[in-house]
């Protein structure tokens, strides 16, 4: 089988016919991510064994049935720890485990959308094969033979791992929350914000995260594609073409302030 060169980026064409280029994560950044995650899992395993060393003998004093239940629960927790750690973080934390967050990479679907739990579970169930014969030997070989730097788990789930060269969402949130109220051009009432869907907020966040890397004409197309239906859904006047970016900034800032008030 001929070895194909690893591509440097994933090219995605949106429904608005705008091309978005996402840099693919290489072996180096993925190694950093798995190293950090392995250290976390190792620490959790040590803590689990330490607790079991105290709890299981105490259960044994209550009878063999209690001890058997204790061992069963211990093994179940161990199974969930190693199989659930990656799948749950990737499914419910925007494709990022703590290690991937440190390495500034994330898992996404080949279409460019976020992954769901089934896809996260599928790519991680194959992890044991990727790990063979030791520390991801099969997975690394698969990445060298894949045009999109995919290990076997990625091929099965239809996922890729990309670099996060955009502004982190936490930075975006902090910037908008700290912006003086006087800089707001568009006023969004609580009633209009209640009409927003989670998908609207996610779409605006994804666009503003990638904004510095987009070409000017792509910015205009994507901003217009989001602003017009969003304004209609929120029942507010649509912004002029020159004010699309300001409209999105103000909407997200108002939504973040609303979330902040709900938390506190």
Q: Are residues 140 and 119 in the same domain?
A: yes
Q: Name the domain boundary from 112, 142, 163.
A: 163
Distance CA 27, CA 17 (A): 31
Distance CA 264, CA 260 (A): 6
pLDDT per position as a tens digit, 126-136: 999 999 988 88
Strand partners, 105: 163
Q: Are residues 179 and 228 in the same domain?
A: yes
Q: Name the domain boundary from 163, 184, 212.
A: 163
Q: Are residues 49 and 67 in the same domain?
A: yes
Kindly state whether residue 189 falls inside one of the protein's structural domains. yes
Q: Are residues 143 and 187 in the same domain?
A: no
Q: Are residues 152 and 247 in the same domain?
A: no
Band of pLDDT at residue 3, cut at 50, 70 and 90: very low
Work out the number of other CB atoms within 10 angstroms of the CB of residue 36: 17
pLDDT per position as a tens digit, 60-95: 767 777 767 777 888 888 888 888 999 999 998 878
Kindly state whether residue 237 falls inside one of the protein's structural domains. yes
Residue 128 structural domain: 9-163
State the pLDDT at residue 181: 65
What is the mean predicted confidence (pLDDT) over 97-106? 92
Q: Are residues 89 and 121 in the same domain?
A: yes
Give ∠ CA 247-250-255 in degrees, rounded to 5. 125
User: How many domains does the chain divide into?
Assistant: 2
Band of pLDDT at residue 11, cut at 50, 70 and 90: low
Kindly state whether residue 3 falls inside one of the protein's structural domains. no
pTM over 0.75: no
Q: Are residues 153 and 218 in the same domain?
A: no
Taking all residues of the chain, what is their mean pLDDT, rounded to a whole number? 82
Q: Name the domain boundary from 141, 163, 185.
A: 163
Distance CA 12, CA 51 (A): 48
Q: Are 84 and 8 in contact (CB under 8 A)?
A: no
């Amino acid at each position: 089988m001929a070895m194909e060169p690893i591509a440097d980026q994933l090219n995605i064409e949106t429904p608005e016919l705008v091309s978005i280029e996402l840099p693919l994560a290489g072996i180096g950044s993925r190694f950093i991510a798995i190293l950090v995650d392995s250290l976390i899992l190792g620490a959790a395993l040590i803590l689990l064994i330490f607790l079991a060393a105290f709890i299981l003998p105490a259960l044994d004093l209550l009878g063999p049935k209690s001890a058997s239940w204790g061992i069963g629960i211990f093994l179940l927790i161990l199974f969930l720890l190693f199989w659930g750690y990656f799948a749950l973080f990737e499914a419910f934390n925007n494709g990022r485990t703590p290690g991937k967050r440190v390495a500034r990479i994330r898992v996404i679907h080949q279409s460019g959308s976020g992954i769901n739990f089934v896809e996260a579970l599928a790519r991680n169930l194959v992890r044991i094969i990727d790990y063979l014969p030791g520390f991801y030997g099969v997975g690394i070989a698969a990445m060298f033979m894949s045009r999109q730097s995919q290990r076997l788990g990625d091929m099965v789930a239809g996922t890729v791992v990309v670099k996060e060269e955009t502004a982190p969402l936490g930075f975006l949130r902090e910037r908008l929350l700290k912006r003086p109220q006087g800089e707001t051009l568009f006023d969004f009432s609580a009633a209009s914000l209640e009409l927003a869907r989670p998908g609207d907020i996610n779409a605006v966040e994804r666009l503003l995260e990638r904004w510095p890397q987009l070409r000017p004409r792509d910015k205009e197309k994507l901003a217009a594609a989001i602003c017009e239906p969003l304004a209609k859904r929120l029942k507010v006047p649509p912004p002029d073409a020159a004010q699309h970016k300001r409209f999105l900034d103000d909407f997200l800032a108002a939504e973040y302030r609303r979330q902040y008030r709900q938390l506190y």
